């Protein structure tokens, strides 16, 4: 704090005026500095709001895309399941048809081969001088 010289009727007016001027200047400088800080604070606040809005939009878009991906994955899974069921049905039908054809073939082979085998056995028996009791009529 500034010390003023004492004069007969108070302090020397020039010194008081000089100190008041210096204090006014200092107050003006601090007000300017405060205004700069206030402006910077407002700018930071605006930037914070903009950043939050952008973040909200990014999150919203990411959620929308995630929902869309999940929906597509569910639909694809459903299609894969349906295709697997169709394939299973086709495989079962094929297996049934294959088994039926195999049975028919085996029955035919047994019948055809049995008759042919019996005929050959009869021929052998007859050639060796024996009597063959089985003959198809």
Query: Model-level pTM greater than 0.75?
Result: no
Mean pLDDT computed over every residue of the chain: 88
Angle at 47 between CA 43 and CA 51, to 5 degrees: 175
User: What's residue 133's pLDDT?
Assistant: 61
Contact between 30 and 37 (Cβ < 8 Å): no
Which tens digits make up the pLDDT trace of 87-116?
999 999 999 999 999 888 887 777 767 777
């Amino acid at each position: 704090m500034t010390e003023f010289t004492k004069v007969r009727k108070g302090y020397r007016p020039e010194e008081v005026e000089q100190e008041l001027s210096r204090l006014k200047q200092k107050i003006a400088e601090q007000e300017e500095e405060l205004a700069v800080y206030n402006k910077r604070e407002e700018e930071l606040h605006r930037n914070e709001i903009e950043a939050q809005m952008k973040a909200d939009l990014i999150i919203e878009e990411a959620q929308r895309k995630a929902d869309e991906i999940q929906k597509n994955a569910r639909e694809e899974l459903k299609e894969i399941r349906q295709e697997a069921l169709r394939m299973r049905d086709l495989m079962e039908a094929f297996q049934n048809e294959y088994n039926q054809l195999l049975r028919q073939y085996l029955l035919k082979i047994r019948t055809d081969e049995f008759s042919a085998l019996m005929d050959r056995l009869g021929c052998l028996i007859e050639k060796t001088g024996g009597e063959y009791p089985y003959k198809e009529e």
